[in-house]
Amino acid sequence: MKTLSPLKASLFAILASSAVFATTVNAEPMDGGCDFSRSEFHKGDRMMGDRMEHGGRHMDQGGMHRMFEGLDLTDAQKADIKKLFADQKAARADSRPTKEQRLAHRTEMQALMTAPNFDEVQAKALMSAQQEQRQAQAIERMKLHNQIYNLLTLEQQAKFKARFEAQAGKEPRG
């Protein structure tokens, strides 16, 4: 039985993990809604333990909804935040790759992993495209957070900053 060299084995492991990440990147994003007050912000949503359930998926915006708890948002602020989330969700839907594009990407990944000779240049190109997509998504998330923060009053912003700094001192989950 022929064994792989350590270099080939590690490259194969990287490619296999990137295939998993590719499916994560191309998976449908979670609902953009967020429950800030835990009361009437999402009428009709069902509570599942400590998280909201939207269409069978658990919503946890990285703790973002918890960060806005206790800020006593006005109805106008809640409506504005809901609109921001709806706008972001629509933008994500517009920029989401088509089914054909996702299938083509998956086919490229499989062809690369099953080729008799590994093409490192092609692998780097595929990985670079994934990283650019992830970076663009992260930037859009940060923009949304900034827009929401700027909807807050000065008092709410001070409370938010204090809560954010307290969270920064804690060990990250996972």
- Which CATH number is 7-166 given? 1.20.120.1490
161/165 Cα distance (integer angstroms): 6
What is the Rg, in whole angstroms, of the alpha carbon atoms belonging to the chain?
A: 21
Per-residue pLDDT tens listing for the chain (174 residues):
566 677 777 766 676 666 666 555 555 444 444 445 444 444 444 333 344 444 444 444 455 677 677 788 899 998 998 899 889 888 888 777 788 988 888 898 899 889 999 888 988 988 888 898 889 889 998 999 899 999 999 999 998 888 888 877 777 666
Structure tokens at 11: 């490259």
pLDDT score for 52: 41
Domain ranges across the chain: 7-166
